[in-house]
Amino acid sequence: MAAVLVTGPPVEFSTASRRRHHDRLLHILTESDTVSIPHLKQIHGQILRTAPAPNDSPETIFLYSRLLHFSSLQDLAYTLQLFGQIPNPNTFIYNTVIRAYAHSKDRKKQAFPLFQELLNQDSLLPDKHTFPFVLKACAYLFALSEGKQTHAQVLKHGLGSDVYANNSLIHFYASCGDSENAKKVFGKMPERSLVSWNVIIDALVQMGEFDEALRIFVEMKSSFDPDGYTVQSVIDACAGLGALSMGMWAHAYVLRKCEIDANFDVLVKNSLIEMYCKCGSLRMARQVFQEMSRRDVNSWNTMILGFAVHGEAERVFEHFGRMVNEEKLLPNSITFVGVLSACNHRGLVDEGRRYFDIMVNEYKVEPVLQHFGCLIDLLARNGQIFEALDIVSSMPMKPDAVIWRSLLDASYKQSEGLDLSEEMARQIMAAEGSESSGVYVLLSRVYASSNRWNEVGLVRKMMTDKGVSKEPGCSSIEINGIVHEFFAGDTTHPQTKEIYQFLDVIEERLKLAGYVPDFSQAPLIDEADDGKERSLRLHSERLAIAFGLLNSKPDVPIRVFKNLRVCKDCHNITKLISQVFNVEIIMRDRLRFHCFKNGSCSCMDFW
């Protein structure tokens, strides 16, 4: 700032001289992009000298509004001090302080009460700038009730058609997980700018409604050309849905039409790497990664996590070494989630222990639940269940249901005893409640493996009494840019007749190749073998694979994405299908990728 102002005791000024002095102060406040807090305090002192409080003249109020604007970006405490000295603040000043609360780290809760104070002023009304600030705070706090009250005030004050208020409402409802209201607000908007489409698409992606996000994106293209932010959300939706064709289109669009700066380029490339990894195309992910002119820690983490979920442990270790030794980048918490996951997916116990030690002692990364979970699952699934339990007891945080479920699964497979398995089940129910179906399914398998069929029946009765139903298996497959979804036993697809006829063909050819059904993970009750076999052949991934064999082009891998962990029998049968039908099948289940080729799987039957 060019001038340094000196404060002192109040001075009597004529009206003209006071205005000239205020014009000078105002010039300083309007010509600068930012003003430091010490300079703001000097200007504040000058205002007090020339117009001692209380003073609510328009020129003084305007000066205070400029002071508040700059202070609100830097020092909330000083902003509140200034606010308290204004006898009759106007809507702009209220908006400035509401915004300061909304952007603060620990005072966001105060934004809504101040908004209510504004509403209680007889001579003031909120304007279109008020509501985005209030809704931003409500979104951060997941304050659904307060946000709905704000929505009512938007409508009451005639701003139901305002594009900025509606964009903020969509973001608020999405942040609170209320997709229905987010879509309702969007659907009623009379005017949509490009930003509105970006907000709803991004909101749907954040809520996991990937197919709906892509549907709205297709609708948007008839009115607007997507920009870099649109494509970013589309890439994320494709990653969640496994829609490789649409993801490749988004990649090509970025290369052709989107002009983006270097920082945004890294962000988009990282998203492309994640998308290709999640769509089962490691080759394309590596290509994007290798062609990047600049990589940040997230670039390396995304590639490492991609290799890990595909079971490529050696490449994980190679990239970790390049990251820390060649690029001189410090690994962070996410890096070690990827490295430890890679150890877990390959059953590399010694390497898992070593990298956990490197994380804690060499890089001083504080272990979080995910790190402990990887190590515990690795140890438990490799026969070290009591060592895993020792780690659980020494953890600085309470184990979650995921950890207890992995211990239960390991104890059942290793026949460690019913008492231990039942204790694991109790811990899972304590952690996530008795409404989750996963614990009942695992516990029933424990009893079934010990031929305790009465207990299996009791588990089934408990599920019925509590209204708990097993999560249905669902698999999706993309053919010619269209994602097809199948549930277990599905009969709703237009090609259902052809799919079921082809399932018979598959079964006949596999039996000739020596296939024998594995009933170890069949339904909860002890039904006859023929009933179990019918149930197995209707698993969702089998329907998707049959559909893929009927409709895919030769030499094109079939990519299937399942919401649950693949069962042992489906894993065996998919290996055989890859051999008998000479096809590569890439399957992503809840835990990892499986690449089936020539009768074997990339997971080496360890998953």
**Percent of the chain, pLDDT > 70?**
86
- With 50 as the cut, is the pLDDT of residue 408 above it? yes
In terms of average pLDDT, the best of 5-9, 460-464, 602-606 is 602-606
Domain assignment of residue 424, given as a range: 400-470
What pLDDT sits at residue 83? Answer: 84
Q: Answer whether residue 485 is part of any domain.
A: yes
- What phi and psi, each to the nearest 5 degrees, are found at residue 223? -115, -30
Q: Answer whether residue 280 is part of any domain.
A: no
Q: pTM, whole model, 2 decimals?
A: 0.80
What pLDDT sits at residue 449? Answer: 72
Same-domain pairing of 461 and 557:
no
Strand partners, 483: 478
Which pLDDT band holds residue 533 (cuts at 50, 70, 90)? low
Q: Answer whether residue 507 is part of any domain.
A: yes
Same-domain pairing of 421 and 539:
no
Which pLDDT band holds residue 312 (cuts at 50, 70, 90)? very high
What pLDDT sits at residue 450? Answer: 75
Same-domain pairing of 32 and 44:
yes
Q: Are 342 and 377 spatial neighbours (Cβ–Cβ below 8 Å)?
A: no
Q: What is the mean pLDDT of residues 40-65?
A: 66
Contacting residues for 508 by C-beta, under 8 A, at least 6 apart:
none
Contacting residues for 103 by C-beta, under 8 A, at least 6 apart:
72, 136
- 517/204: higher pLDDT: 204
- With 60 as the cut, is the pLDDT of residue 52 above it? no
pLDDT-wise least confident of 24-33, 136-145, 443-452: 24-33
- 162/81: higher pLDDT: 162
CA–CA separation, 427 and 416 (whole Å): 17
Same-domain pairing of 415 and 441:
yes
- With 60 as the cut, is the pLDDT of residue 427 above it? yes
* Alpha-carbon distances, residue 190 vs 150, 163, 195 (angstroms): 20, 9, 14
Would you tell me how many other CB atoms lie within 10 Å of the CB of residue 259? 7
What pLDDT digit, counting tens, does each position of 450-500 carry?
778 888 888 888 888 888 877 888 999 999 888 899 998 889 999 999 999
Residue that terminates a domain, selected from 57, 89, 121: 89
Token pair for residue 607?
């998953």
Q: What is the mean pLDDT of residues 310-323?
A: 97
- With 50 as the cut, is the pLDDT of residue 17 above it? yes
Same-domain pairing of 505 and 436:
no
- Which DSSP symbol is given to 109? G
User: In the chain, what is the straight-line distance between the N-terminal and C-terminal CA atoms, in Å?
Assistant: 64
Q: What is the mean pLDDT of residues 170-188?
A: 92
How far out from the chain centre does Cα 591 lie? 16
Q: Answer whether residue 386 is part of any domain.
A: no
Q: Computed over its alpha carbons, how large is the radius of gyration of the chain?
A: 30
CA atoms within 13 A on the CB side of 155: 9
Same-domain pairing of 465 and 480:
no
Which pLDDT band holds residue 19 (cuts at 50, 70, 90)? low
Q: Answer whether residue 13 is part of any domain.
A: yes
Q: What is the mean pLDDT of residues 334-340?
A: 98
- With 60 as the cut, is the pLDDT of residue 3 above it? no
- 191/324: higher pLDDT: 324
CA–CA separation, 195 and 475 (whole Å): 33
The structural domain count of the chain equals 3
What pLDDT sits at residue 539? Answer: 92
Q: Are 322 and 314 spatial neighbours (Cβ–Cβ below 8 Å)?
A: no
What pLDDT sits at residue 26? Answer: 64
Q: Are 536 and 515 spatial neighbours (Cβ–Cβ below 8 Å)?
A: no
* Alpha-carbon distances, residue 284 vs 237, 269, 288, 291, 559 (angstroms): 17, 11, 6, 11, 15
Q: Answer whether residue 18 is part of any domain.
A: yes
* 537: nearest Cα among 574, 498, 483: 574
Residue that terminates a domain, selected from 413, 435, 470: 470
Strand partners, 588: 561, 593
What pLDDT sits at residue 592? Answer: 94
pLDDT-wise least confident of 18-27, 223-232, 378-387: 18-27
In terms of average pLDDT, the best of 173-177, 226-230, 261-265 is 173-177
Would you tell me how many other CB atoms lie within 10 Å of the CB of residue 576? 18
Mapped onto helix, strand or coil, the DSSP state of residue 537 is: helix
Same-domain pairing of 504 and 587:
yes
Same-domain pairing of 487 and 447:
no
What pLDDT sits at residue 480? Answer: 86
Q: Answer whether residue 484 is part of any domain.
A: yes
CA–CA separation, 458 and 449 (whole Å): 15
What pLDDT sits at residue 228? Answer: 82
Which pLDDT band holds residue 1 (cuts at 50, 70, 90)? very low
Same-domain pairing of 542 and 444:
no
* 546: nearest Cα among 583, 500, 587: 500
What pLDDT digit, counting tens, does each position of 66-123 carry?
777 777 777 888 788 888 878 788 899 899 999 989 988 888 999 999 999 999 988 8
Q: Answer whether residue 49 is part of any domain.
A: yes
What pLDDT sits at residue 428? Answer: 82
Token pair for residue 135?
């809704």
In terms of average pLDDT, the best of 227-231, 264-268, 301-305, 484-488 is 301-305
Burial letters 179-196, b for 16+ CB under 10 A, else e: bebbbebbeebeebeeeb
What pLDDT sits at residue 524? Answer: 45
What pLDDT sits at residue 53? Answer: 47
pLDDT-wise least confident of 371-375, 437-441, 563-567: 437-441
* Sequence letter at residue 105: K
* Alpha-carbon distances, residue 23 vs 4, 20, 326, 436 (angstroms): 16, 5, 58, 67
- Where would I find the beta strands (DSSP E) of 276-334? none
What pLDDT sits at residue 13? Answer: 52
Token pair for residue 372?
């402990």
CA–CA separation, 550 and 557 (whole Å): 13
Residue that terminates a domain, selected from 470, 495, 517: 470
Same-domain pairing of 24 and 82:
yes
What pLDDT digit, counting tens, does each position of 222-260 carry?
888 888 888 899 999 999 988 999 999 999 988 887 766
CA–CA separation, 356 and 350 (whole Å): 10
- 23/324: higher pLDDT: 324
Same-domain pairing of 478 and 465:
no
- With 60 as the cut, is the pLDDT of residue 379 above it? yes
Same-domain pairing of 429 and 524:
no
Q: Of all helices (H) and strands (E), which one includes residue 478?
A: strand 474-479
* 406: nearest Cα among 433, 435, 375: 375
